[in-house]
Amino acid sequence: MITTVKKLLTKLSLIAKDKKAWLALIAGLFLTLSYAPYNLWYIAFLSLGILIYCINPQANGKSATKQSAKYGFIFGLGWFGAGISWVHVSIATFGGMPLIASISLMVLLCAYLALYPALAAWLTTRLAKGPYSFICLLLANFAVTEYLRGTLLTGFPWLSFGYTQTDSPLNFLAPVIGEFGITLVCVLIAFSLFRLLGKDIKPLIGSVTLLAGLYVIASNSALQYQDKTIKTVLVQGNIKQHLRFEPSEFWNTMSKYQDMTRLHWNADLIVWPEAAVPELEALSTQYLTGLDSAAAFNNTALITGIVDYQYDTRNIFNTLIVLGKKEQDDSEGHYQYLGKNRYQKHQLLPIGEFVPFQELLRPIAPLFDLPMSSFTRGDEVQNNLQANGLHILPAICYEIAFADLVRGNYRSDSDILFTVSNDAWFGDSHGPHQHMQIARMRALELQRPLIRVTNNGISAVYDPIAKSQLSMPQFKADVLEANITLIKGDSLYSQYGNWPVWIVVILLSAVAVFIRVKK
């Protein structure tokens, strides 16, 4: 035991003296500044450039492969340690765990996520033969590892590099190659800058040529505004998190949303947040029927989140339902319990909405036994919601980070991208800002107006053509009225998804293999 501890301390001492290890850590930490709310998007290129410098096989000698994996892992610790530090807010505040336990969980989560950039760095250095083989492999390996990070163990696609460019001049790429493609462009630009320091201008010329070609493609898009503008109303209740699922507070919450809406029925669409109605749907029939009639009487539709527990099957769904008019020429409301015009959340949040190994974990701490943490998955592909003649593409909370899932439910006649959430779990941290940034990226990819309404912010509407956002303050009960101009046409990304990017990745891999065989 003593020998093992000594070896560990020796390794930590060596890492502490390793200047590249510190560079990799600092680069990962500062990468957080590229994301919302800081939006210093150019730092992404600098951080990735430093990572490339650290894992450069020509500088690391015989131990290049092992060193690259180490630097990739340390970079990942900084990247996720600072980037998703907001997760600790929910664990510490609502998880009911001692500080040392909550910090340990965060370290484990960040260490797991850091394995992906470590794997990308290791594979690249292990297989590369020369600088151009290196960049081909680095792009291909980051594509694979980022895909795996977004899918394995239900996936955690948060903080991909492409999100740093949501509000940068490179956001014109989103409708063409999506966030996934922008991630690889970030790596390519970083490599070009790194090689420029060595007076190799060829990668920079290649990057500029590629961006120019993609800009021409984006400029020739047939996307344009429709001759139709709708008035929408977003209602943000700002219900305290510890009161949201207290049965004694159900009626107060439901009355509050009803009262906040009463003066704003003169809209085409009214939206409430995730589980805005805290009572189970089967027990809220009278309340929902009243809202359905009121919305129809005022020639509008209302979409709200609600929990649907089905007593016969014991399935419980995180649900969106439509009240009031389904079609524009309807004269009556159409709501009925278990009617087809609803959306059931598919991508559930681990721990928050389902607990793996629950028989083992639930007794350990309140974190693993939160209210409403036994949801059932909805179907992966579902119909758009229909509300007052509009076709609404829905996503609930965490789902908006899964580009393939959202695109899988997109249709050419989808009018609006609509997402609801409750980010009260994360307090006054950068988590809600990152969440809103991710939602904006989905709107840019699909070129559809975004409506996002949450319990306590950030609630906003976003126009992906004008790239303008209108939002209401966080942590305040408020109502936002906004006029939204609809958009017609399909983006390239909405039609082809990530397939063009994967074809390029395969070609890059083939080039790397050719260079390796030739040498």
pLDDT of 152 above 90 = yes
Residue 397 annotated in active site: yes
Q: When comparing pLDDT for 307 and 91, which is higher?
A: 307
Residue 488 is among the residues annotated as catalytic for this protein: no
Mean pLDDT of 229-244: 93
> What secondary structure does DSSP assign to 131-166, as a single string?
HHHHHHHHHHHHHHHHHHHTTGGG---TT-GGGGGT
pLDDT of 303 reads 98
- CB-CB contact of 269 with 293 (8 Å): no
pLDDT 10s digits, 330-370: 999 999 999 999 999 999 887 666 555 555 554 444 444 45
Look at the chain and count its residues. 519
CA 399, CA 240: separation in Å to the nearest integer? 23
How do residues 483-506 score in pLDDT, each as one tens digit?
999 999 999 999 999 999 999 999
DSSP 339: -
- In 10 A of CB 28, how many CB atoms? 28
Q: Which of 375, 376, 395 is nearest to 384 (CA)?
A: 395
Which amino acid is located at 443 in the chain?
Answer: A
- Which H or E run contains 426? none
Residue among 508, 512, 519 at smallest CA distance from 133: 512
Burial level of 16, CB count in 10 A (0-12/13-18/19+)?
exposed
Per annotation, catalytic residue among 110, 397, 399, 445: 397
Q: What is the pLDDT of residue 373?
A: 55
Place of tokens 């502490």: 16
Query: Do 348 and 338 meet the contact criterion of CB atoms below 8 Å apart?
Result: no
Residue 62 pLDDT exceeds 70: no
The amino acid present at 332, given as its one-letter code, is E
The C-alpha atoms of residue 153 and residue 284 are separated, in whole angstroms, by: 35
pLDDT in tens, 359-398: 555 444 444 445 555 789 999 999 999 999 999 999 999 9
Point out the catalytic residue in the list 274, 279, 281, 353.
274
Q: Which of 345, 353, 399, 445 is catalytic?
A: 345
Confidence of residue 427 (pLDDT cuts 50, 70, 90): confident
Sequence-distant (6+) residues with CB within 8 A of 247 are none
* pLDDT-based confidence at residue 122 (cuts at 50, 70, 90): very high
What is the structure's pLDDT at 363? 46
Tokens of 437: 């940034």
Distance CA 382, CA 343 (A): 7
CA-to-CA dists, residue 506 to 176, 181, 502, angstroms:
18, 13, 6
Q: How far apart are CA 328 and CA 290, in angstroms?
A: 20
The answer to whether 493 and 108 have CB atoms below 8 angstroms apart is: no
345 a catalytic residue: yes
